[in-house]
Amino acid sequence: MVFASLTSFAALYYSPRKVLETLDWYLYRFRDRHVLAEVKNRRIVQQQPGAISFGHRPLAIEIPYTIEELSEQLKRNRSSIGKSLERLHDHDKIEPYKGGWRLK
């Protein structure tokens, strides 16, 4: 009887954590992974030829991804993309950059 109550207590104590870890894994696997894969395709363009380069080769500029662009490319609504971006930011995979998002 004591063993059963200890087992029940352990299950109640550790179960919520496992449920949250599993939910986090599913969200990454089926939602966030696609957003991260798209952000990994960095968009880098060369600076305009007329810009001052101070004797060096022209600087490359990264163009960040906006929620609207990702929403259009992945065919998901903006709120879903926004939530994925926030989760990826919380996990230090991406960062806000010039009004959009880029790989960290």
Number of domains the chain contains: 1
pLDDT digits (tens, 9 = 90+) for 47-91: 766 555 566 666 778 899 999 999 999 999 999 999 999 999 999
Q: What is the span of the domain harbouring residue 33?
A: 29-48+58-104
Please state, in angstroms and rounded to a whole number, the distance separating the CA atoms of residues 42 and 31. 19
Burial class (CB in 10 A: 0-12, 13-18, 19+), 84: buried
Task: Enter the pTM of the model.
Answer: 0.74
DSSP string, 47-87: PPTTS--TTSPPPEEEEPBPHHHHHHHHT--HHHHHHHHHH
The answer as to whether 13 is a domain residue is no
pLDDT tier, 14 (very low <50, low <70, confident <90, very high otherwise): confident
Specify which residues 46 forms β-bridges with.
Answer: 60
CATH number of the domain encompassing residue 74: 1.10.10.10
Q: Is residue 24 part of a domain?
A: no
- 4 lies in a domain? no
Q: Has residue 42 been placed in a domain?
A: yes
